[in-house]
Structures are given as C-alpha cells and as structure tokens.
Amino acid sequence: MLALRRSTHLLTKGFCSPVSVRTFASPSGNPPPAEGFMPGVSSSKFIKNTSEQVFANSELKHLKNGETKKLNLFQAINEALHTALVTDNKAIIFGEDVAFGGVFRCTMGLEAKFGKARVFNTPLTEQGIAGFAIGVAATGSTAIAEIQFADYVFPAFDQLVNEAAKYRYRSGDQFDVGGLTVRMPCMAVGHGALYHSQSPEAYFAHTPGLKIVVPRSPIQAKGLLLASIRDRNPVIFQEPKILYRAAVEQVPVDDYVLPLGKAEVLKEGKDVTIVGWGSQLYVLENAIALAEKQMPGLSCELIDLRTILPWDVETIAKSVNKTGRLIISHEAPVTMGFASEIASKIQERCFLRLEAPIQRICGYDTPFSLAFEKFYMPNAHRCFDGIKRVMEY
Amino acid sequence: MAPIVSFPGAVDGSHYTENLTFLLKYETIPTYRVLDTEGNVLDPAQDPKLDKDLCLKLYQHMLTLNGMDLILYEAQRQGRISFYMTNYGEEAAHLGSAAALTLEDVIYGQYREAGVIMYRGFTLDQFMNQCYSNASDLGKGRQMPVHYGTKELNVQTISSPLGTQIPQAAGTAYALKQQGKKACCVCYFGEGAASEGDFHAGLNIAATTESPVIFFCRNNGYAISTPAREQYRGDGIASRGHGYGMATARVDGNDILAVYNTMKEARRIAVEEGRPVLIEALTYRVGHHSTSDDSSAYRSKKEVSDWQRLDSPINRFRKYLENKGWWDNEKEAAFKKSSRAEILAAFARAEKQKKPPIENMFTDVYDELPWNLQEQKAELAELMKKYPEAYDASGYATSAPKA
C-alpha cells in the first residue's frame, strides 16, 4: 500500500500523462493505453468551452470580471487553494506530499508562494492529519487538509465522525471546527483496484454534523471548494481523480463560490429523472444520449447532486413530481450506498407520482477489483438499460 | 571514530559499527521530586518558593476537588446524576500543572482533570450544572457528566473517545504559533490512552511541525482494570518521548511542587523554543475508574489504602504548609466545613434547575438547521402534542422567545 501511494503510479499510467517531478515509478517509454480515460468528458455538453457559456449560468452571472481561463480540474483546485490562502491569512494547507505540489499536482507552487509555514508536509498519518486539522480549526484558523486517496481516509474515520462532526454540538456551540475542509481524490481511475478507486461518501453521510461535497468539473471544483473552505461546518470534499486532467473548461478568474446543499439540473427533461455526482455524470450523459437516440421522443432530466450531505431533496422531488420516474447512479457499492437514502426519501415524498420503481444503478457489492473494473462499473450501457427498464415498466 | 552513515533517514546522524548489538537494557528515566512524603524540601534550590496565597489556593482547591468528588460520587450512587468520575489521588498533578500556565494557554483534557479547570476558575455551579445537564450547562445538556468545557477559560470540551485530543492539541499549538500568540497548548491523557494510535500520530506530528504543545500523561497505573504491565513493556510513557525527538521529563505526580516546576519549564521550552514537550506524571488512581466500576474486582483494597496512607498528594502538601506555619488542624476543619457548605449549596441549585429546552437536541449539529433537521424537529413537536403522556416535558425549560 505504501509503496504504491508514495509513487505517482496513477499519474504515470493511463490517462494521466507523466509528470516530470518523479520518474521512479514510471513505466519506461510511452504510457500504456489509457483504460481509465472517460470517453465523452471532452465532448460533454456540460463542459463550458467559452466564457459566454460560463456566464450564462445563473450561479455565475453576477461575476463582474467576465474573464475566464482554460483549466483542468487539478488546476481549478489549485486556483481555489491559492485564492483561499490569499483571502484568509489564517488558512493553512497540509497533508502527505503536498509541499512539492501533491501527487496529483493540486498544490503546485503554493509552498513557494506562501511559505513552508502555510503549506507543508505532515508525517504519513491520516488520523494525525485529521486530528491536527481539527485542532487548527478549533483555534479559529482555517485548516485545509489533504488525504492522499479517499481510500485512506478510514484511519481518520474516528477523528472525522466522533470529533469533527460533533465538535460544535457537544460543546454547546462554544467551540466549532467550521474552518475544517478535508480534500481527497475519489472514484475510479481505470486501474486503481481496491485502494485507489473508492467512493466513501455513504460512510460519512450517516454522520450528522458533516457536509460532503463532490464536484463534476473545473468550474464546479473551484466554486464548491471555496464554498467548502469558507462554510462554517466541517466539509469532506471528494475530488473525482479521473477528472483531474480529463475535464478541461473555461473557469472564471474571479473569486467565486457555488452554493452547498444545492443540486443543479444539468439537462431538463420530462420522462425520467436521473441523479448522479462526480464523474458518473458523464457516464449518465452518454447513457441518456444513447437512450434518447434509441427511444425517439424520450426526454431525460439529469441532475448533479453536488452536495451529498445535507442533500437537496427539493430539487430532486420537484423533478420526480414532474417526470414520475427516478434513477440514481453512483460508483460505490449499491447496498447502503447514498442512492438508497435518496430512493427512500423520494418514495416518501413522491409516492403518488411514481410510475415505476426507483432504480439504483451502482457498483456491485464487491471490493473494487483491478482486472474486472469494466464489468463492475455502472457504465453507460448499464445506465441505458436502467432507463429502458423504467420507461418500459 | 567510525565513519558517519549517509542514509537520509538518519536525521540525527549515526556511525557505522562492526559490532552487532541489539539495544536491550538502558537506564530507566528518573522521577523528579521536590518534596519527600513528609513534605520536606529535599533540595532547597528546587523549592519554587510559591507565595503563601498561591500555596493556600492550591491546597484549598485540592480539598474542594475532594469534597466535590465525594458529593457527586454519592449523588450518582443515589441516581441523581447518571455518571461520575472522581479525581482521588491525582489532585497534585492537576493543580501543580495548572498553576504553571496562563489563561492564554489552551487546555485539552481527557476526563480526569477537573482540578485543572477548577484552578482556571470553573465554578462549583458550572461543574454541577454540567453533571446535572441542566439548562445552565454550557454544553446544553448534551454530554455525559464530567465532560466539561469552557470557551471563557480556554478549555476545549472533553469527549469520550480516548486519545483523540492528542493530535488535536498539536494542531491547536501550531495555530497558536501561526497566530503569533505567546501561548502553548497543554494536552492531558492517561497512560492507557497513550496506547491509542492517536498518541503516536499526535506526538510525531507535533515534533515534525514544531508545535508548542505540552503532552501531560497522568500515569496512574491502571486503565480501568488493566494494569500498566499489560498496557506496555517499555519504560513507561516518558521513554517514548526520545523516540519522537521530544524534550521529556518524568515527575512524581504526587508532589505538587515537582509537578509545578516541571510544567513551568515545559511551558518555557514550548513557548520560547517553539517545540513540543512530553511530561509523564507518576501517580496512583485511588478511586474507582468511574461510578460504573468496582475496582476491588481487580486490585486489593489494601493496595489502595496503602497509597492513601503512605503517599497522598494532599497530605504531602499539607505537611509542607504546616512546616511553613501556613496551615493547621483548625484551619483545615474550618475550611472543610465552609467548602462542604458551598458544594452542597451549588449542588442544590443545580438540582433545582430544569433541563435545557428540548429544541437543543436539534441545534448546533450544524451552524444552521438543514431541511432534514427542521422536518424532524417539527415531527417531534407534533408527536409531543399528540402523545403528551409519552413525552413529559415538564422538567424542561421552554424555548427562548424568538427575537
């Protein structure tokens, strides 16, 4: 586990082009074919290629400086972190290997600009990182901690669930850790296997006191990360690592935030509501294109949940009351995944309007295996099949 | 001299040797003391010469802490509060260490540090209100008894999970240093908690980040029923400090002046030199672990009474005061009487108070109530209206009127 984590294995293989900083783990010659590459991200309708498209969004309209810059997701994260450090002199960034720029390049250049006291490496200890971050936040500073992979957040589970989440409540609001944000790369990457692929959001979603956020694109990543850092509650911020380089779009240059706790309707439709988050949205976009092509007249509504906890029940319920059908899709295993919570609540809210059973199209209830990833994933064909099934019910 | 190794992992340097040696035996770390068990100063140069007022304050707090423990322990036995943990035998460790700090220093405790909070100014009423989880409890009635916390006195709220406060204290110390405060963070824990992974995480991260934190281990020989011999096999907790590259001292925890001196110097190292310190205070848990524990199931009553008789931190300090002519039997009797009256009065006041408003169950989970909590709060209100016989709210304060 450690040997792999300390290397830049995932950067040097597949869709991630090799970085010059570390080469010891690189395969010689050209990288192998990018099995983890997500077809459709670059051609996605949800990716903004022009600043006109960017500012057409009602959440970004108000930005006075109309400038945008072409960034991929890791660069957008880097911009957000840069802005956080500039606008808040009590903000610090730390974690394993963040000083040289991070194994996914998200903290590039920050140590040089802001100094070792504000951007620094910690020893290799996730419970230590989380506990240290809680202490920083409890003292009124802003802690932006990084867990190298979401798969390695579990040693910090006690600190996040028993401590961070309950800090304000148990002290009667005398103390809080609102200044705490824990960033972590998550989701599948094509070849990450058991410990470089997980999506732990459902574990945390069972914990009152935490907020959980997953962005889908560079614009979203910058705005949601800045909102998370400034939110007065501890936030788990999961970054779909397959999008670090694959998702590229025009991102506003301004300092801006996007609302937490608010879903976004990406595509309006009348027949079926489809909910997802993170990189799964691009899979769903492809599945919808396939379904709408094969079933003329079909129109699907696609919603990016964005915040897992507290989630936006109103937007989903409103959509399902219109369409009468609901599909929820995530990479994490199906049993007790967050789709179960959405399905249950929407069944309560929209019982009379539902015309088909709510479908969960998710990972299977197995660990995330290396050789079988393409059979495990809730891919476009599985999602397409789900759409067909609810429409034909 | 043998050539120096060049491996990057040997940060403090090392020499090559041709002799295969496993380090097995080493001298154990000595235990620093100032007073003998008769309250005599062993080396006059070590007497901190605390003034009479401070000495009397420390001693009286020891007695008050004992008096409060007695009343609240009995209150729990009678079912008037749900839980309690006494501080018997560890009074000197609390008060000696607290007296060497300033109110700017941030405290993280475990759950057996009531003397520290008392020294900083936590009132009897505040102790009682927390134990009764009544409407005046600063924690709004949410946590078990003895889980104190006070923003005003810079004491972070105690939580039950052991050791979690150790890396947190490192983070707090780092933030204090970053914010330019001339203060440190002090983190208390027992020798049992030091077996948690968070102990390792916290000490190591404090060392590498050069955080001004003092880790204060109360080694009282037992973690509930588990004796120290089953807790670790090294030289106590202090021997670990060196492994983390940390200034470390072991002190007689029943000697209040030795504890004071140790903490005073530790604070200087932390604040002036900007680095962490580890203190191990050896003491003995005279009381049961908690009101849920009968310690005679795993240790002899004689062992306990021997400690009480032969090495009580209170008696030792009392003899020191008597040697100075600052205390006597008369003063002792008068103070105990007035202190008991104050404790009982605070106890009665706390018992009379209502529980906090029921809406406090839902607030402070987040800074604001999300939709699910609003829904659930409304659901509970409906149920209470519908089934008043199942939800007797008469013992609870009503909600504060909305502004």
- Shortest distance, CA A67 to any CA of chain B (angstroms): 34
* Alpha carbon distances (Å) from A240 to A94, A368, B359: 20, 15, 38
* Structure tokens belonging to residue A216: 């889908």
Q: What is the model's pLDDT at position B400?
A: 52
Residue A23 has pLDDT above 60, yes or no: no
Q: Which residues of chain A does B135 touch, with a Cβ-Cβ cutoff of 8 Å?
A: none
What percent of chain A has a predicted confidence (pLDDT) above 70? 90
pLDDT tens digit string along A72-128? 999 999 999 999 999 999 999 999 999 999 999 999 999 999 999 999 999 999 999
Which one is catalytic: B14, B82, B152, B160?
B160
If you average pLDDT over residues B313-342, what whole number do you get? Answer: 98
- Shortest distance, CA A56 to any CA of chain B (angstroms): 29
User: What's the CA gap between A331 and B191, in Å, rounded?
Assistant: 43
Q: What is the model's pLDDT at position A42?
A: 83
pLDDT tens digit string along B282-324? 999 999 999 999 999 999 999 999 999 999 999 999 999 999 9
- List CB contacts of A346: < 8 A, sequence separation 6 or more: A313, A316, A317, A320, A326, A354, A358
Residue A7 has pLDDT above 90, yes or no: no
What is the chain B residue with the closest CA to A125?
B201
- Provide the sign of the torsion angle of the four alpha carbons B160, B163, B166, B168, taken in this order: negative
- Provide the sign of the torsion angle of the four alpha carbons A193, A196, A197, A201, taken in this order: positive
pLDDT tens digit string along B214-233? 999 999 999 999 999 999 99
Work out how many CB contacts closer than 8 A connect A with B.
162
Can you give the C-alpha Rg of chain B in angstroms?
24
Judged by phi (left if over 0) then psi (alpha if -120 to 50, else beta), residue A44 lies in: beta
* Alpha carbon distances (Å) from B326 to B22, B96, B119, B318, B321: 54, 18, 20, 9, 5
Q: What is the model's pLDDT at position A31?
A: 42
Residue B157 has its nearest CB partner, among A92, A171, A209, at A171
- Give the pLDDT band (50/70/90) at residue B26: confident
Q: What is the model's pLDDT at position A12?
A: 38
Q: Bridge partners of A68?
A: A252
If you average pLDDT over residues A136-143, what whole number do you get? Answer: 98
- Give the pLDDT band (50/70/90) at residue B401: very low
Q: What does residue B366 show for φ and ψ, rounded to 5 degrees? A: -125, 175
Q: Does B243 touch chain A (CB under 8 A)?
A: no
Q: Can you list the alpha helix ranges (DSSP code H) found in A327-371?
A: 338-350
Write out the catalytic residue numbers of A: 126, 196
pLDDT tens digit string along B230-246? 999 999 999 999 999 99
- Shortest distance, CA A284 to any CA of chain B (angstroms): 28
What 8-state DSSP symbol labels residue A14? T
What 8-state DSSP symbol labels residue A274? E
pLDDT tens digit string along A284-299? 999 999 999 999 999 9
Average pLDDT over all residues of chain B? 96
- Give the pLDDT band (50/70/90) at residue A13: very low
Q: What is the model's pLDDT at position A37?
A: 56
Instruction: State the best of B215, B366, B373 to mutate against chain A, taking most chain A CBs within 10 Å.
Output: B366
Residue B142 has its nearest CB partner, among A120, A172, A314, at A172
Residue A19 has pLDDT above 50, yes or no: no
User: What's the CA gap between B403 and B391, in Å, rounded?
Assistant: 27
- Taking an 8 Å cut-off on Cβ atoms, the answer to whether B161 and A143 are in contact is no
Residue A18 has pLDDT above 60, yes or no: no
pLDDT tens digit string along B53-86? 999 999 999 999 999 999 999 999 999 999 999 9
If you average pLDDT over residues A345-370, what whole number do you get? Answer: 98
Q: Which residues of chain B does A130 touch, with a Cβ-Cβ cutoff of 8 Å?
A: 167
Q: Does B315 touch chain A (CB under 8 A)?
A: no
Residue A16 has pLDDT above 90, yes or no: no
Q: What is the model's pLDDT at position A4?
A: 46
Is B150 in contact with B121 (CB distance < 8 Å)?
A: no
- Shortest distance, CA A349 to any CA of chain B (angstroms): 12
The b-or-e profile of B237-246 (16+ CB within 10 A means b, else e) is: bbbbbeebeb
- Taking an 8 Å cut-off on Cβ atoms, the answer to whether B159 and A162 are in contact is yes
What is the chain A residue with the closest CA to B153?
A174
Q: What is the model's pLDDT at position B202?
A: 98
The predicted model scores a pTM of 0.94
Q: Which residues of chain A does B130 touch, with a Cβ-Cβ cutoff of 8 Å?
A: none
- Shortest distance, CA A294 to any CA of chain B (angstroms): 39
In 3-state terms, what secondary structure has residue A66? coil
* Alpha carbon distances (Å) from A181 to A67, A98, A164, B110: 28, 15, 10, 25
Q: Does B180 touch chain A (CB under 8 A)?
A: no
What percent of chain B has a predicted confidence (pLDDT) above 70? 99
β-pairing verdict for B277-282 and A264-267: unpaired
Rounded to two decimals, the ipTM of the complex is 0.96
* Structure tokens belonging to residue B356: 């906090």
- Taking an 8 Å cut-off on Cβ atoms, the answer to whether A128 and B150 are in contact is no
pLDDT tens digit string along A141-173? 999 999 999 999 999 999 999 999 999 999 999
- Give the pLDDT band (50/70/90) at residue A357: very high
Say how many C-beta atoms besides its own lie within 10 A of residue A42's C-beta.
14
Residue A17 has pLDDT above 60, yes or no: no
User: What's the CA gap between B205 and B210, in Å, rounded?
Assistant: 8
Q: What is the model's pLDDT at position B25?
A: 81
Q: What is the model's pLDDT at position B2?
A: 80
Q: Bridge partners of A75?
A: none
Residue with tokens 């010891």: A24
Question: Which residue did the predictor score with more confidence, B108 or A65?
Answer: B108
- Taking an 8 Å cut-off on Cβ atoms, the answer to whether B205 and A211 are in contact is no
B61 is catalytic: no
If you average pLDDT over residues A313-333, what whole number do you get? Answer: 98
Q: Which residues of chain B does A208 touch, with a Cβ-Cβ cutoff of 8 Å?
A: 365, 373
What percent of chain B has a predicted confidence (pLDDT) above 90? 96
